[in-house]
Structure 1
């Protein structure tokens, strides 16, 4: 399995609100996206492209991935969003986030347009993609979407629009209004996660709108992390640190992973296929889990964000 890119936290920033750009660029988010879609009033979407370009070109983003969320490809803005932002930002744009993807053809459309732009502009760096699965059709076609392009770095679970598409009765944090036994979004989350793992890319969990409820955000994040998600959206800078802490290996996990590998290698040297650590079985599956923990730890270290783990 490929190691997905580091995407513990993805901060949403409205492209129309230029007073937020400096704080976003200086944040500890693994990715910041300037939003041209739902966070911007329709009348301001075209003029907000220029603000996004200016932010990408003029601010120091450090190691943060620089992204823009375009409008859905079924809208009148999508074509212009891609062309204008790519032409204006060029190598200062790392990733485009495509919303409301329902089938592989949606990804293909953006991929082909980017191929043409990169060739015409002579861009040396390939622009990456992330896609939002936030419609019942997208959930049903998650695997074909996740494997539609080699540009893809992540699929993102979007509970908000999926609630509308599904006809779900949920509150403003997309939680069920009536008692429900377990994770209300378990099936959709697992569809997105499974598709991401098949494609070898990251799976990102949905936003949590109430940024004044850090405990609720952390509960959501821990549930997603337990399933295997790589990160979560943040709609406010206060949520970034929570996501970065939840979607990382703890010091205890790192130490145990190293012990598991040491014990297994020692057993292998003696011709054994399994051993034990602290009275618990350790076999090949446990080794793979330990290797995943250490690979993620290495990704955090290599990104220059190791200080977040102290």
Structure 2
């Protein structure tokens, strides 16, 4: 059964939630008004006015009114997509009824907000039948207001074992004439409620990492033409930990993450994009150490690796407690095994252009050299290897470039930021390669 993808975005880097009503403030919508003004690299790909967990239950009616007021006034100028989160619960008919009321209030064309809304986020979903209930409510609202059926996207937050199992049912259900599940857009992990639903306990009370959930969500998105988003990283000052989490996710194909602050939005907007400059790193007892670059040399500055010349082309290499005596060739081979290169945007574009030229000339595979001179304890060691590029390598390299192209096409407000990062010339080349 063929499912027609209804959303234009191929990638979403940032999913940013904002309370819709703040109690005790003269203007309860002040956080919405602040968020709708975000632009450039601080503005998310998807903004979520959050009328569920981020807003107190007693304020949600006012929160729905605030969504309408703010979006009708300023929604047209927001550079990303807008997907309000409304209430829902798989086990509560009364909550689902409240969801329908919120949908009807926010989507009323006479109030002027719906023309700026791309879809809705549904939390706390259960099995696939529950997903279809939410879809049916949105279909009812579309028909009530004369909106094109399927025009409003639906994103779900995977916060239960039931919802995780439903990921495996999507391929059989999407495309059936009895539902409009083709409207699905984002699959978002909600690890906090998922942990509660799984009755999980950790000694410290911290959340388990749940790598299986993130893998399953990413796989479900890939299998159904959707986009996977990781849940919130609530230690907002831990920038390094946020980056580590995003790096782990990207290796699973989950290129988007929940952002709680404009600062996290900026970090997450940049994270999946290729770096401006290439860099080498060294595996030191399972820990990846980035090498400093100076005058064409890549310098190890730590204390865990020691290198000493003990004779003519003879060296003593100590890494942690492991000490070995090696000749020049053995030393180069050992360091090459431990070194990895992280290519820059320019490196990726250069390689893709070179492979495209080779294909045009009738060659199916080419060798590309990677080399560097490492400096350890004052001793220079040059390492070099040849990497074969074929069609599969080319396609794998295309993913970060496709992401960049998707961002550039869909976020014109970030053009200046991207050109400042990479330079105008490499941006132009990146937009035509592939």
TM-score normalised by L of structure 2 = 0.64
Aligned pair partner of 1:292 in 399, 405, 408: 399
Confirm or deny that 1:187 pairs with 2:212: yes
Counterpart for residue 375 of structure 2: none
Name the CA distance, whole Å, in 2 between partners of 1:16 and 1:91: 21
Aligned residues: 302
Confirm or deny that 1:261 pairs with 2:261: no
Name the CA shift for 1:226/1:64 in 2 (closer, same or farther; >3 Å): same
Confirm or deny that 1:123 pairs with 2:147: yes
Counterpart for residue 179 of structure 1: none
Confirm or deny that 1:276 pairs with 2:367: yes
1:44 match: secondary structure: helix
Q: Do 1:67 and 1:94's aligned partners in 2 also have CA atoms closer than 8 Å?
A: yes
Name the CA distance, whole Å, in 2 between partners of 1:189 and 1:210: 19
Name the CA shift for 1:52/1:225 in 2 (closer, same or farther; >3 Å): same
Counterpart for residue 160 of structure 1: 192
Q: Do 1:163 and 1:174's aligned partners in 2 also have CA atoms closer than 8 Å?
A: no
Runs of 4+ in 1 over 4 A off after TM superposition: 170-174
Counterpart for residue 234 of structure 2: 209
Name the CA distance, whole Å, in 2 between partners of 1:212 and 1:91: 36
Counterpart for residue 181 of structure 1: none
Q: Deviations over 1:183-226 (max 9, x none)?
A: x3111110000000111221111101122322222222222123
Name the CA distance, whole Å, in 2 between partners of 1:12 and 1:36: 9
Counterpart for residue 415 of structure 2: 306
Name the CA distance, whole Å, in 2 between partners of 1:230 and 1:173: 27
Tell me which protein shows more helix as a share of its residues. Answer: 1
Name the CA distance, whole Å, in 1 between partners of 2:202 and 2:185: 29
Counterpart for residue 70 of structure 1: 86
Offset of 1:253 from its aligned partner?
4.2
Q: Deviations over 1:95-147 (max 9, x none)?
A: 20011222222232222222232233223581111111111111122133486
Q: Do 1:203 and 1:229's aligned partners in 2 also have CA atoms closer than 8 Å?
A: yes
Counterpart for residue 16 of structure 1: 21
| Structure 1 unaligned regions, length at least 5 | 177-183
Counterpart for residue 83 of structure 1: 104
Q: Do 1:300 and 1:306's aligned partners in 2 also have CA atoms closer than 8 Å?
A: no
Choose 226-235 or 191-200, whichever is displaced more: 226-235
**Matches of residues 11-160 of structure 1 in structure 2 within 5 Å?**
11-17=16-22, 18-27=29-38, 28-60=43-75, 61-73=77-89, 74=92, 75=95, 76-87=97-108, 88=111, 89-123=113-147, 126-145=151-170, 148=174, 149-160=181-192
Q: If you compute each CA radius of gyration, which structure gives the higher value, 1 or 2? A: 2
Name the CA distance, whole Å, in 2 between partners of 1:227 and 1:84: 38
Offset of 1:242 from its aligned partner?
0.8
Greater relative CO (CA pairs within 8 A, separation 6+):
1
Name the CA distance, whole Å, in 2 between partners of 1:111 and 1:11: 23
Offset of 1:65 from its aligned partner?
1.0
Name the CA distance, whole Å, in 1 between partners of 2:387 and 2:239: 35
2:147 match: secondary structure: coil
Name the CA distance, whole Å, in 2 between partners of 1:173 and 1:23: 33
